[in-house]
């Protein structure tokens, strides 16, 4: 059963986007059946007519608000029909925030933006396991949210080797191998103190590459992978 996805789109453009995606998903049918191709705009119109009522009349969505719409459907080749599965319809609405409501905050932020951009991020860590050969794996957190992973090995009482680390917030970065001095501290304190500085010198990569590295580290101790948020998934763009 195919799924039609709008992706994140201004409400004013939802109808055109869904129509284009639908045609893209059904291109194999339209290539071999001209009559079916001619009927697709009708079924697209049925969906858009219903959504217009929902968004504009009932939810009072502004045309500049952002929406994300998904709905499943069946294709009946024999009768040349697209059958919308209305019970699968999902609509998310993201309201536009007027500039005047945050203009003062933005002005204050701009003054301190350079300092923030170059500042060291404070990460917390939580041990999630240890491998059979002594590697210790940590979840990396910020603001209470898991945003990365690190794998370390204790060389001696004075030396810790950070073998690899990766994060997806506030930037996407990977770092390979650095020695860290313990100086009488526990591993968690060393990592919390040094990880932000280390990641500043890391390799800046794509979101997918950073997430892949994080989950490769987590897999060393069979920890559940961090999933890609829905808003970053492939949207089925035609």
In the chain, what are the domains? Answer: 3-94 (3.30.470.50), 119-226 (no CATH)
Asked whether the predicted pLDDT for residue 23 surpasses 50, the reply is yes
Report how far residue 132's alpha carbon sits from residue 96's, in angstroms, rounded to the nearest whole number. Answer: 51
Which of 19 and 33 is assigned the larger pLDDT?
A: 19
User: Read out DSSP for 18-80?
Assistant: HHHHHHHHTHHHHHH-HHHHHHHHHHHHHHHHHHHIIIIIIS---TTSEEEEEEEEEEETTTT
Cα–chain center distance at 142: 16
Report how far residue 77's alpha carbon sits from residue 29's, in angstroms, rounded to the nearest whole number. Answer: 8
Cβ atoms of 93 and 61 within 8 Å: the answer is: yes
pLDDT of residue 232: 56
Which of 118 and 180 is assigned the larger pLDDT?
A: 180
**Rounded average pLDDT over 4-15:** 94
Binned at pLDDT 50, 70 and 90, residue 33 comes out as: confident
The beta strands (E) that lie in the chain are given as: 3-5, 9-10, 66-76, 81-94, 124-130, 136-142, 145-156, 159-167, 173-181, 203-204
What's this model's pTM, rounded to 2 decimal places?
0.67
Report how far residue 224's alpha carbon sits from residue 133's, in angstroms, rounded to the nearest whole number. Answer: 20
Binned at pLDDT 50, 70 and 90, residue 1 comes out as: confident
Closest CA to 164 of 218, 124, 121: 218
């Amino acid at each position: 059963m195919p799924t039609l996805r709008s992706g994140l789109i201004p409400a004013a453009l939802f109808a055109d986007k869904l129509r284009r995606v639908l045609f893209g998903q059904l291109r194999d049918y339209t290539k071999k059946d001209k009559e079916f191709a001619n009927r697709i705009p009708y079924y697209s119109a049925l969906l858009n007519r219903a959504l217009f009522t929902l968004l504009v009349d009932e939810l009072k969505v502004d045309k500049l608000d952002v929406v994300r719409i998904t709905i499943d459907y069946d294709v009946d080749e024999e009768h040349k029909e697209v059958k919308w599965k209305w019970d699968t319809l999902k609509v998310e609405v993201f309201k536009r925030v007027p500039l005047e409501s945050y203009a003062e905050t933005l002005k204050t932020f701009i003054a301190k933006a350079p300092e923030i951009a170059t500042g060291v991020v404070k990460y917390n860590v939580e041990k999630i396991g240890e491998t059979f050969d002594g590697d210790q794996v940590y979840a990396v957190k910020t603001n209470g949210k898991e945003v990365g992973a690190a794998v370390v090995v204790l060389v001696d009482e004075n030396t810790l080797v950070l073998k690899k680390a990766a994060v997806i917030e506030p930037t996407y970065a990977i770092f390979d191998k650095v020695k860290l001095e313990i100086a009488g501290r526990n591993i968690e304190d060393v990592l919390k103190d040094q990880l932000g500085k280390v990641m500043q010198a890391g390799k800046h990569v794509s979101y997918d590459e950073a997430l892949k590295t994080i989950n490769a580290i987590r897999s060393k101790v069979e920890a559940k992978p961090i999933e890609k948020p829905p808003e970053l998934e492939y949207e089925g763009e035609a």
